[in-house]
Amino acid sequence: MSNHSSLTYGKQERTTHRAIDNALNSARNRQKVMDKRGRIKCSDYELAAVSLNGRLKWEKALRLELGRHLGLMPNANITSNDVFWFCFVDVNCLQRCHYQYGASFKPLKCINSYRKGLKGLSYVAMLEPAIYASSSRIKPPAFEHLGQFEKTISWHCHGLAWGESRKEMRLRFNEIEARGIYVPAVPNLKGCWAKFIQPELISQKIGYMCKTPRLTNRVYCRNPDKFDEEKWEFEQEEMKSRPGEHILYFKLLAPYTLDQLTFAGGDGSKILQTVKAPFVSRTKA
């Protein structure tokens, strides 16, 4: 597995967490992640989802174990596999930010929804939030119930899968799309996709899967003058998060640990158990 990709991941993570630290000191909404004494509310467990060191350790452990299993390192178990990079997103996994609605939403339930599309595959994936901020007076249907300046959160997943040929994987995702099982928040996009990746890119994808969220999606209508709603076309742009949005990501992730946000199936379940074991044993010690 490429050490260069790991070094790049570490550099990007440190940059993101410097922006988070700056936000914790300067953002106007920073009180939302603090207790009455002004202390930041988060777990001290080494795999806390808001911990820089936890992210670095988790990425390294996953990279080494997946590399051994997929035949990318010496003494590997498997020497030939088609490996696919996939994503799932669904409107049923949108969370409103307003306090009246956020309390009843359970992000980890989204994992069970995304597992359905991966049944029969070996895979490892991670759940993560993405902030959507609509900047247009005309909104996609999924955002119509939001207030003028209200943001929404899309809990989606990225992961690596193997165990089927390229043809079988294409048929699987075509069927999922045809049945409309996963509906994207933005109509012009897909609710799920998968693509074959070369072995040398696997390390890079593991880093992306393990990253701390650092971008915010801005959504706007490209043709607002059209009178027919069915002809509206929407554009999604990724932009660097502002300090207040870093605070929102921190608040969303603070209740969770990285092992809670990671899920797997098939041979991936054994890989995940192997990766988690050292962290669990240190916690119990």
> In whole numbers, what is the pLDDT of the chain averaged over residues?
88
**Host domain of residue 18:** 3-284
Tell me: pLDDT of 103 over 80: no
Average pLDDT estimate for 22-26? 94
Helix, strand, or coil here: 208?
helix
Q: Which is more confidently placed, 136 or 157?
A: 157
Q: How far is CA 79 from the centre of its chain?
A: 28
Banded pLDDT at 75 (limits 50, 70, 90): very low
Banded pLDDT at 146 (limits 50, 70, 90): confident
User: Quick one: pLDDT at residue 76?
Assistant: 42
The DSSP bridge partners found for residue 48 are 257
Positions of E strands within 71-230: 83-88, 94-96, 122-134, 152-162, 192-197, 215-221
Number of domain units in the chain: 1
Q: Cα(173)–Cα(116) distance, rounded to whole angstroms?
A: 12
User: Quick one: pLDDT at residue 232?
Assistant: 83
Q: For 122-138, what is each residue's pLDDT tens digit? A: 999 999 999 998 767 77
Pairing of strands 152-162, 83-88: antiparallel
Q: For 54-73, what is each residue's pLDDT tens digit? A: 999 999 999 999 988 887 65
Tell me: pLDDT of 86 over 70: yes
pTM greater than 0.95: no
Positions of E strands within 24-93: 83-88
Q: How far is CA 92 from the centre of its chain?
A: 15
User: Quick one: pLDDT at residue 153?
Assistant: 93
Residue 205 · residue 125 · CB < 8 Å: no
Banded pLDDT at 79 (limits 50, 70, 90): very low
Tell me: pLDDT of 154 over 60: yes
Q: For 233-282, what is each residue's pLDDT tens digit? A: 888 899 999 999 999 999 999 999 999 999 999 999 999 999 999 998 88
User: Quick one: pLDDT at residue 170?
Assistant: 95
Q: For 186-206, what is each residue's pLDDT tens digit? A: 888 899 999 999 988 999 999
Average pLDDT estimate for 27-46? 88
Helix, strand, or coil here: 39?
coil
